[in-house]
Chains A and B, each alone.
Chain A
């Protein structure tokens, strides 16, 4: 791992007139990390990236690269490079000239430049296409040229702005694997912006979920998925059931959650939560049992809909209290034993129940809303 490529953002603010695009972001990305900023459009992730690249001037705050503030340095003097969503290749130059564009400013000999261009092309598996024009390449190949053009300069930090956004689903998966391979080979810091949760989960060492110009939660993918701190994070990363409950402490680390006439146990509950809150559980951890099954954390309900989704089936159960709970049943070859209109017992195991602060914008009763991909 290289020791260069440490990015530090200190209370970074960017406003466009009345709109605050980036609202006081503090963030440290250590050298060699694959760091992802994830969020819906308008959350400030791209603006943050453009601030680091130098295309925008911050209104407040500092951007430090390896301890040196570069927030007032113009983009061509910053030691970071960017891969654009639109690729931004130079259409009048050949692939080779595109890749070699930045080397002119690196004071390297012609032979050295040619060698580095060759290496970069090899790294992104484009050898042999050097004399084509970008217009003659496919979208995936153009993306590789954009990557090679930035990597050839050996920047300590590479910024990627939704680089896979314009590609089709299969190609995206292939390139995800490849990006991760390149990042691990070179050991440079990647700061990656996306609205695609799969990309974020697959490649990142750490993910920051952003919302309205600030970081909602930041941590390794597993931590974000398993222990979301807000309903927004729970909904944006994966699907989740969110049920409004009222919280009563039980003396230990957990709590009793009251839901209409029923009481649920949760093994863990943040100390500060009292009164109205949201109970969160992932659909794949909801258990469906035969009607009449009793025991703790079981509630009666009626199957409202069974949706076939290929690798799993989505069973939507209306609880007696009126809340809708989604259960993910893996498609193991056997037909789901419940059909529309069946009475069932829903088991919400205490160790999988999380208690989150109530959040008006995330309590939409329809738990499927989280699956809709944000534009």
Chain B
């Protein structure tokens, strides 16, 4: 009796269930294939232009739009027009590397100091200072560059436009990134290790030297490389603060020459820049991972988030 009832129930229930299943697009616990597809389309879309540019850097012919075989002509081999032999291109590369090098060496220690100060400063004004430090992250770069231009042509006329002004400009906008990265790490470290060191008898300078700096090393290394990548990518600030042909950077040269007589040497130059930037970021990531190995779970996340924020912001520039 009870068996037949169950059977009947089962049969009766089946037509009810079937139409409902039709509206269910897919298994909610399954792999999100639709999302994966959209993601891959996006990745391809954003990579294609870059890959095309790299392709023509290795072109045999002079065209930047038609495939004409493969060569290293535009990197080294062409006696007049290659990156190696065109003095305007190689000097641009040199200028870009010089700016990046000095920006890196100046912005990182300044940013570490600033981050430490902001982390500890509690009281009236600290909130404002916090926001102000991060302001360059959201200020349109053009506004920032125009402001700096006015500053160096009026108030700081003694410095004037040129390499020094360009370095100061790069340091100014990359400082915020250093602060973000270092503060992320400081928050991870927490104040109790500093207190513990003081408690065990370490005077303030020793707390910094024996505890804080070793623990901040990954963030410092990441900062160095992020600043390098930001500086070498920069166009607007470099352009506004340039004083002539010898202060032209790679992005400026590419922009100028693309409108005059472009050759695949520009693509070659861009490819070199891209490689350097990617190497710097990859190195930053690896160094950070290596130096925070063995620290429990999520402790590296703060710093990594900082690096990723830097990559994002660097990419959007």
By a CB distance below 8 angstroms, the chain A residues around B202 are 76, 101-102, 105
Question: Which one, B66-74, B143-151, B174-182, B193-201, is touching chain A?
Answer: B193-201
By a CB distance below 8 angstroms, the chain A residues around B211 are 90
Q: How far is the CA of A76 from the CA of B206 in the complex (A)?
A: 11
Say whether B190 faces chain A, with CB atoms less than 8 Å apart.
yes
Q: Can you list 23 residue pairs at the A/B interface with Cβ under 8 Å? A: A53-B195, A55-B198, A75-B198, A75-B199, A76-B203, A77-B201, A82-B195, A82-B196, A84-B196, A86-B190, A88-B192, A90-B193, A90-B196, A91-B295, A91-B299, A101-B210, A102-B200, A102-B201, A105-B202, A136-B294, A149-B196, A149-B200, A150-B200
By a CB distance below 8 angstroms, the chain B residues around A106 are 201
Contact A81 B200 (CB under 8 A): yes
By a CB distance below 8 angstroms, the chain A residues around B295 are 91, 135
By a CB distance below 8 angstroms, the chain A residues around B203 are 76
Which residues of A (159-175) have their CB < 8 Å from a CB of B? none
By a CB distance below 8 angstroms, the chain A residues around B197 are 90, 101
Contact A82 B201 (CB under 8 A): no
Closest approach, in angstroms, between the C-beta of A219 and any C-beta of chain B? 29
Which residue of chain B lies nearest to A55 when distances are taken between CB atoms in the complex? B195
By a CB distance below 8 angstroms, the chain A residues around B296 are 135
Say whether A110 faces chain B, with CB atoms less than 8 Å apart.
no
Contact B201 A153 (CB under 8 A): yes
| 11 further A-B pairs in the complex, CB-CB below 8 A; given A53-B195, A53-B199 | A84-B192, A84-B195, A89-B193, A90-B196, A90-B211, A91-B193, A101-B202, A102-B200, A105-B200, A106-B201, A150-B200
Closest approach, in angstroms, between the C-beta of A16 and any C-beta of chain B? 11
Interface residue count for A (Cβ, 8 Å)? 27
Closest approach, in angstroms, between the C-beta of B288 and any C-beta of chain A? 14
Closest approach, in angstroms, between the C-beta of A85 and any C-beta of chain B? 8
Question: If the complex has contacts A135-B294, A135-B296, are A86 and B201 also in contact, measured as CB distance less than 8 A?
Answer: no
Residue in contact with A86 in the complex, picked from B192, B200, B210, CB distance below 8 Å: B192
Closest approach, in angstroms, between the C-beta of B205 and any C-beta of chain A? 11
Contact B294 A74 (CB under 8 A): no
Q: How far is the CA of A55 from the CA of B198 in the complex (A)?
A: 9
Q: How far is the CA of A86 from the CA of B204 in the complex (A)?
A: 21
By a CB distance below 8 angstroms, the chain B residues around A81 are 199-200
Contact B201 A105 (CB under 8 A): yes
By a CB distance below 8 angstroms, the chain B residues around A4 are none
Which residues of B (196-222) have their CB < 8 Å from a CB of A? 196-204, 210-211, 214-215
Q: How far is the CA of A106 from the CA of B200 in the complex (A)?
A: 10
Closest approach, in angstroms, between the C-beta of B175 and any C-beta of chain A? 26
Which residue of chain A lies nearest to B297 when distances are taken between CB atoms in the complex? A135
Q: How far is the CA of A53 from the CA of B202 in the complex (A)?
A: 14
Say whether A15 faces chain B, with CB atoms less than 8 Å apart.
no
Which residue of chain A lies nearest to B294 when distances are taken between CB atoms in the complex? A135
Which residue of chain B lies nearest to A78 when distances are taken between CB atoms in the complex? B199
Say whether A285 faces chain B, with CB atoms less than 8 Å apart.
no
Residue of B195, B200, B210 with most partner-chain A CB within 10 A = B200
Q: How far is the CA of A54 from the CA of B202 in the complex (A)?
A: 13
By a CB distance below 8 angstroms, the chain A residues around B210 are 101
Contact A153 B200 (CB under 8 A): yes
Interface size bucket, B side? Answer: 20 to 34
Which residue of chain B lies nearest to A161 when distances are taken between CB atoms in the complex? B192
Question: If the complex has contacts A135-B294, A135-B296, A136-B294, are A88 and B193 also in contact, measured as CB distance less than 8 A?
Answer: yes
By a CB distance below 8 angstroms, the chain B residues around A53 are 195, 199
Closest A-B pairs by Cβ, 4 of them: A102-B200, A105-B201, A88-B196, A88-B192
Say whether A287 faces chain B, with CB atoms less than 8 Å apart.
no
Residue of B197, B201, B204, B214 with most partner-chain A CB within 10 A = B201
Say whether A133 faces chain B, with CB atoms less than 8 Å apart.
yes
Residue of B198, B203, B204 with most partner-chain A CB within 10 A = B198
By a CB distance below 8 angstroms, the chain A residues around B200 are 76, 81, 101-102, 105, 149-150, 153
Say whether A131 faces chain B, with CB atoms less than 8 Å apart.
no
Residue of A88, A89, A149, A150 with most partner-chain B CB within 10 A = A88
Which residues of A (242-270) have their CB < 8 Å from a CB of B? none
Chain A positions 83 through 126: 1 when the CB is less than 8 Å from some CB of chain B, otherwise 0: 01010111110000000011011100000000000000000000
By a CB distance below 8 angstroms, the chain A residues around B196 are 82, 84, 88-90, 149
Q: How far is the CA of A84 from the CA of B192 in the complex (A)?
A: 8
Q: How far is the CA of A90 from the CA of B202 in the complex (A)?
A: 13
By a CB distance below 8 angstroms, the chain A residues around B204 are 76
Which residues of A (131-190) have their CB < 8 Å from a CB of B? 133, 135-136, 149-150, 153
Contact B214 A92 (CB under 8 A): yes
By a CB distance below 8 angstroms, the chain A residues around B199 are 53-55, 75-76, 81-82, 150
Closest approach, in angstroms, between the C-beta of B197 and any C-beta of chain A? 7
Which residue of chain A lies nearest to B202 when distances are taken between CB atoms in the complex? A76
Which residue of chain B lies nearest to A92 when distances are taken between CB atoms in the complex? B214
Closest approach, in angstroms, between the C-beta of B28 and any C-beta of chain A? 36
Contact B215 A91 (CB under 8 A): yes
Q: How far is the CA of A213 from the CA of B196 in the complex (A)?
A: 25
Closest approach, in angstroms, between the C-beta of A139 and any C-beta of chain B? 11
Which residues of A (45-79) have their CB < 8 Å from a CB of B? 53-55, 74-77
Closest approach, in angstroms, between the C-beta of B17 and any C-beta of chain A? 44
Which residue of chain A lies nearest to B207 when distances are taken between CB atoms in the complex? A76
By a CB distance below 8 angstroms, the chain A residues around B294 are 91, 133, 135-136
Which residue of chain A lies nearest to B189 when distances are taken between CB atoms in the complex? A91
Contact B190 A76 (CB under 8 A): no
Closest approach, in angstroms, between the C-beta of B291 and any C-beta of chain A? 9
Closest approach, in angstroms, between the C-beta of B39 and any C-beta of chain A? 34
Closest approach, in angstroms, between the C-beta of A218 and any C-beta of chain B? 26
Question: If the complex has contacts A135-B295, A135-B296, are A88 and B195 also in contact, measured as CB distance less than 8 A?
Answer: yes
Q: How far is the CA of A62 from the CA of B255 in the complex (A)?
A: 70
By a CB distance below 8 angstroms, the chain B residues around A55 are 195, 198-199
By a CB distance below 8 angstroms, the chain B residues around A77 are 201
Q: How far is the CA of A133 from the CA of B202 in the complex (A)?
A: 21
Q: How far is the CA of A77 from the CA of B199 in the complex (A)?
A: 8
Q: How far is the CA of A92 from the CA of B197 in the complex (A)?
A: 13
